[in-house]
């Protein structure tokens, strides 16, 4: 099949940008979205034109490196699916697809579909470390954690840091991402030592990185490819209030 693309092209942060029309021909329904873009780039390179820039990717939906707006929705139309796992069988011959980068002040554009997500790294670094005893590794069974708690912690740990929550939020808030990282450690005994300082530092880093405030409307949860729950934000707010009293 053939699909028509409108792809955001921008040579650099200071350069003007806009949507450029392309046609992907001979697209197989078994192709992934990225394979389709690869085929378009092969055609552009053969014509001596600049290929569409997009971030490298594991293509397994676990690294979060590649993320774009597909027809105005982060990662495309399928729920709980990264765009690298989106397949062309989702589309019909002759369809028009609009592809744009994440748009948020905290994610400055580098080129075409590539944005700089260093702000996420800043939040993670602000979280610091967890205190552990030196010496041999402790037997896992020696730290008893209820299964329900472990399951909830792992649900939060599934966040891959792709930035879809920021791109989907009208305020470009990073509350879902930050809260998932905070909740993961706040539920486990290993994260208790630094809990009061961690949550304050991470929220301060989030606020100073240029992200907007959370208005709790749920767009972030709706577009998250890993289905991270909005409950994490409630947990983050609760941990923050506890930390303010503890730090006082």
pLDDT per position as a tens digit, 70-108: 999 999 999 999 999 999 999 999 999 999 999 999 999
Please provide the DSSP assignment of 2-56 as one string. Answer: -EEEEEEEESSTTS-EEEEEEEE-S--TT-BHHHHHHHHHHHHHHTTPPPPP---
Stretch 12-25: mean pLDDT, rounded?
Answer: 96
More confident residue, 193 or 202: 202
Q: Among candidates 2, 132, 111, which has minimal Cα distance to 53?
A: 111
**pLDDT at position 246:** 79
Tell me which architecture the domain covering 117-131+145-247 has in CATH. Answer: Orthogonal Bundle (1.10)
140 dihedral zone (left: phi>0; alpha: psi -120 to 50; beta): alpha
pLDDT exceeds cutoff 80 at 202: yes
Q: Report the CATH superfamily, name and number, of domain 3-110.
A: Beta-grasp domain (3.10.20.30)
pTM over 0.85: yes
pLDDT exceeds cutoff 80 at 137: no
**pLDDT at position 245:** 87
Stretch 169-192: mean pLDDT, rounded?
Answer: 94
**pLDDT at position 134:** 65
**pLDDT at position 142:** 76
**pLDDT at position 52:** 98
CB atoms within 10 A of CB 21: 9
Task: Say how far apart CA 102 and CA 108 lie, in whole Å.
Answer: 9
Q: Among candidates 189, 194, 184, which has minimal Cα distance to 246?
A: 194
As a dihedral over the C-alpha atoms of residue 216, residue 222, residue 224, residue 228, rounded to 10 degrees, the angle is 60
* pLDDT band of 130, cuts 50, 70, 90: confident
Rounded (to 5) percent helix, strand, coil in the chain:
40, 15, 45
pLDDT exceeds cutoff 90 at 41: yes
Stretch 184-204: mean pLDDT, rounded?
Answer: 92
* Contact predicate 32/86, CB 8 Å: yes
pLDDT exceeds cutoff 70 at 133: no
Question: Regarding beta strands 73-74 and 109-111, do their DSSP bridges make them parallel or antiparallel, or are they unpaired?
Answer: unpaired
* pLDDT band of 218, cuts 50, 70, 90: very high
**pLDDT at position 128:** 86
More confident residue, 130 or 151: 151
Stretch 125-152: mean pLDDT, rounded?
Answer: 81
The domain segmentation of the chain, as residue ranges, is 3-110, 117-131+145-247
**pLDDT at position 140:** 67
**pLDDT at position 192:** 87
Question: Regarding beta strands 96-100 and 109-111, do their DSSP bridges make them parallel or antiparallel, or are they unpaired?
Answer: unpaired
**pLDDT at position 60:** 87
pLDDT exceeds cutoff 90 at 16: yes
pLDDT exceeds cutoff 80 at 180: yes
Residue whose structure tokens are 């030592």: 193
135 dihedral zone (left: phi>0; alpha: psi -120 to 50; beta): left
């Amino acid at each position: 099949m053939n699909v028509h693309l409108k792809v955001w092209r921008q040579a650099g942060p200071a350069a003007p940008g806009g949507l450029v029309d392309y046609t992907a021909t001979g697209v197989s329904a078994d192709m992934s979205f990225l394979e389709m873009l690869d085929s378009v780039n092969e055609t552009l390179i053969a014509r001596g034109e600049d290929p569409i820039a997009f971030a490298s990717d594991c293509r397994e939906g676990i690294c979060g490196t590649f993320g774009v707006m597909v027809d105005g929705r982060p990662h495309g139309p399928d729920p709980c699916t990264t765009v690298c796992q989106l397949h062309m069988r989702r589309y019909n011959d002759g369809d028009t697809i609009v592809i744009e980068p994440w748009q948020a002040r905290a994610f400055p554009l580098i080129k075409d579909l590539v944005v700089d997500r260093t702000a996420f790294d800043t939040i993670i670094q602000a979280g610091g470390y967890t205190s552990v005893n030196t010496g041999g590794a402790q037997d896992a069974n020696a730290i008893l954690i209820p299964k329900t708690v472990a399951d909830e912690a792992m649900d939060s740990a599934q966040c891959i840091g792709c930035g879809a929550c920021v791109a989907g939020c009208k305020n470009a808030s990073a509350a879902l991402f930050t809260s998932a990282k905070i909740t993961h450690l706040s539920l486990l005994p290993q994260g208790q030592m630094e809990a009061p300082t961690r949550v304050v530092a991470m929220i301060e880093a989030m606020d100073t990185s240029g992200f907007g405030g959370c208005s709790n409307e749920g767009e972030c949860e709706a577009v998250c490819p890993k289905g991270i729950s909005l409950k994490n934000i409630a947990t983050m707010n609760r941990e923050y209030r506890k930390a303010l009293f503890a730090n006082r």
